[in-house]
Amino acid sequence: MIILHGRKVVGGTAAGEALVTRDTISGWGGIDPQTGVIVELRHELRGQSFKDKILVFPGAKGSSGWSGFFHRARIAGAAPKGMIFNRMTTKIALGAVVTHSPAVTDLDQDPLAVIETGDWVEIDADQGIVKVTKKRERQEPEAKREASQATHAD
Q: How far apart are CA 103 and CA 101, in angstroms?
A: 6
Closest-CA residue to 16 (of 76, 75, 84): 84
Instruction: Put the strands of the sheet holding 54-57 in their side by side order.
Output: 2-5, 129-133, 120-124, 13-20, 54-57, 82-85, 103-105, 7-10
Closest-CA residue to 94 (of 41, 15, 27): 27
Stated as kind and residue range, the H or E segment containing 103 is strand 103-105
Q: How far apart are CA 47 and CA 114, in angstroms?
A: 24
Q: How far apart are CA 135 and CA 16, in angstroms?
A: 12
- Clarify whether 63 is annotated catalytic: yes
Q: Exactly one of 26, 49, 63, 101 is catalytic; which is it?
A: 63
Rounded to 10 deg, the angle between the 66-75 and 90-99 helix axes is: 10
**Residues labelled as active-site residues:** 63
